[in-house]
Amino acid sequence: MNTYAKRTIWRKENNPNIIQVIDQRRLPHELIIVDIHTCQEIVDAIKDMTVRGAPLIGATAGYGVMLACIEASKNQNSFVYFEKCINELRASRPTAINLFWAIERQLDALKEGKNWQEKIEIASKIADQIIEDDIEVCRLIGVAGLPILEKISQNKKGEVVNILTHCNAGRLGCIEWGTISSPIYQAHQNGMKVHVWVDETRPRNQGANLTAWELTQAGVPHTVIVDNAGGHLMQHGMVDVVFVGTDRTTRMGDVANKIGTYLKALAAFDNQIPFYVALPSTTIDWTIKNGLTEIPIEERSQDEVKYIYGWNGTSLEKVLLTPITSKASNYGFDVTPARLITGLMTERGICAANEEGLLSLFPEYK
Ligand code: MRU
């Protein structure tokens, strides 16, 4: 992977107040780096999914707060302006808790700043820290998850371990390692034979476009499948384990993730296939208990369902799939109840998907 693509977000060389990101709407066909100059541009990048994936949304929002401080310091109504920026950041996407976590982490720290100059310095440091923390946390998720794959590999006497995944919970959804990809990369680097079934993940095709691109870059064998194929593969012994990410996990272990995750969990349960969720603890919403009723589920434009983007040989093209007058609905996420989840892979190890399990790893939230 070239150096630009190594991380998903970074500061521009020679101008640290310009944030650079990979435009994820253009992958896998074009690797385009976008410059972000203002808090409004951060909001737009999160909304239009130039950047996406819970940890990366949080990290991007961290820089959004930094840019809001810089802009507020030059504004006559600085506090009003700053509050407006924060509200817009908060409204950019509803489901991934990392967005709100990063903003609160920044606002807490900013209380120490006596003037805008101090606030800018604090926000700048915290934004960088969020990035560094995510990289280490994802590496540790890999350390926690690797033994799951090692055990399957041993049981299969070194034969290929088949992992099924949904959406993109790899490095593109995070900063460097990714969550579910971290144990997979570590296994692959250790010489284990792994193969990933990649759900295409309609409507935005994060699997076909992003996960497949990442795995190609990393040299990990993989096969893209239509979203409805997973159950069939599981019934025929072609899946050893399911790994997915999450946008918000309740303290009882219910998991919101990309729409369609729940159906994969049901199929895995019916076929006695282990179903693991990888998450940094920043994705746990300790304030809520019932995933089904308390997690806000994003509804996006019906055009994402009605139209599809593809490469026509020279450029990206948007084409219509449905009758022009048909209505479409577009729920972005669903909730997988804790009872269908074999375990949660976190930076502090693996636990049962329930309150007791989570608190055993994170006793500070008792
Ligand atoms: O709508 P997206 O692409 O932001 O949704 C992303 C997912 O659902 C990911 O699986 C989740 O955020 C985990 S990313 C490590």
CA 19 / ligand 1 centre spacing (Å): 21
- Each residue of 66-88: pLDDT tens digit? 999 999 999 999 999 999 999 99
- Each residue of 132-152: pLDDT tens digit? 999 999 999 999 999 999 999
Q: Which amino acid is at 306?
A: K
Query: What per-residue confidence (pLDDT) applies to 4?
Result: 35
Catalytic residue (one of 227, 247, 254, 285): 247
CA 300 / ligand 1 centre spacing (Å): 14
Which residue spans within the chain are E strands per DSSP? 9-12, 15-22, 33-36, 161-165, 194-199, 222-225, 241-244, 248-250, 255-258, 275-278, 284-285, 307-311, 316-320, 333-336, 343-346, 349-351
Task: Reply yes or no: is the peptide bond before residue 28 cis, omega within 30 of 0.
Answer: yes
Residue percentage of the chain with pLDDT more than 70? 99
Q: List the domains of the chain with CATH numbers.
A: 9-133 (1.20.120.420), 145-365 (3.40.50.10470)
Closest protein CA for atom 15 of ligand 1: 169
User: Smallest Cα–Cα separation from 228: which of 206, 274, 197, 269?
Assistant: 197
- For residue 2, what pLDDT band results from cuts at 50, 70 and 90? very low
Residue percentage of the chain with pLDDT more than 90? 98
Query: What per-residue confidence (pLDDT) applies to 110?
Result: 98
Question: Is the separation of the CB atoms in 157 and 145 below 8 Å?
Answer: no
Question: Is the separation of the CB atoms in 233 and 308 below 8 Å?
Answer: no
- For residue 6, what pLDDT band results from cuts at 50, 70 and 90? confident
- For residue 33, what pLDDT band results from cuts at 50, 70 and 90? very high
d(CA 62, CA 131): 9
Length of the chain, please? 366
- pLDDT (average), residues 204-217: 97
Average pLDDT of the chain is: 97
DSSP letter assigned to residue 4: H
CA 112 / ligand 1 centre spacing (Å): 33
Specify whether 35 is catalytic: no
- pLDDT (average), residues 267-275: 98
d(CA 266, CA 132): 35
Query: What per-residue confidence (pLDDT) applies to 5?
Result: 46
- For residue 327, what pLDDT band results from cuts at 50, 70 and 90? very high
Q: Is 55 in the pocket of ligand 1 (CB under 6 A)?
A: yes
- Which atom of ligand 1 is nearest the CA belonging to 178? 15
Residue 3 has pLDDT above 60, yes or no: no
Beta-carbon contacts of 142 under 8 Å, excluding residues fewer than 6 positions away, are 177, 182, 183, 185, 186
What pTM value is reported for the model?
Answer: 0.97
